[in-house]
Amino acid sequence: MNRRTILFGAPALALGACTSTSLSSAIQQAATDVSNIASVIGSVVPALLPTLGLPAATVATATTDVGTVTKDAQTISGAVAAASTPSGGVVQEFGAAASAAIGVVLPLLDATVPEVAVLTAAVALLPTVLSAFGIASASAVSVVPPDAARSIITQYLSTHATKES
């Protein structure tokens, strides 16, 4: 057995040790997180792209990433709603597209811009989401714990849903 087999199998082993009830609740929470992250990316990134003076090709790529995030979030939510685990490929694609879309705008924003906190929370929550679906991610340790990230995202979405209504 090589090292990669051991590393990539570790999340699955950890999840396999859970009872079916806790596994189900972890996947349900991850599906909710996916939907919320997709909502944040779908509203924040397209609104910021025109303000950053990015080349047209970069804007087009980021826009495609936002579309992929939205599509994959719907696929993941649909699978979980049907009591099935989404394919690892879709979950990985979601994570990659979400990271890429956020990665275009976040480094260019001033720390005082309100969207920085919610985008940082979304990035911080991605490894937790991927892990819940058995996908190992090579990410740095987050300074935002998952529950705090969820709170930031939920507060942002509820505040902005109220303003848009």
pTM: 0.83
pLDDT per residue of the chain (165 residues) written in tens, 0 to 9: 444 433 444 444 444 444 344 447 999 999 999 999 999 999 999 999 999 999 999 999 999 999 999 999 999 999 998 888 899 999 999 999 999 999 999 999 999 998 999 999 999 999 999 999 999 876 666 779 999 999 999 999 999 865 544
Handedness of CA 58, 62, 63, 67 (dihedral sign): positive
Compute the CA torsion angle 72, 123, 56, 71 (nearest 10 deg): 10
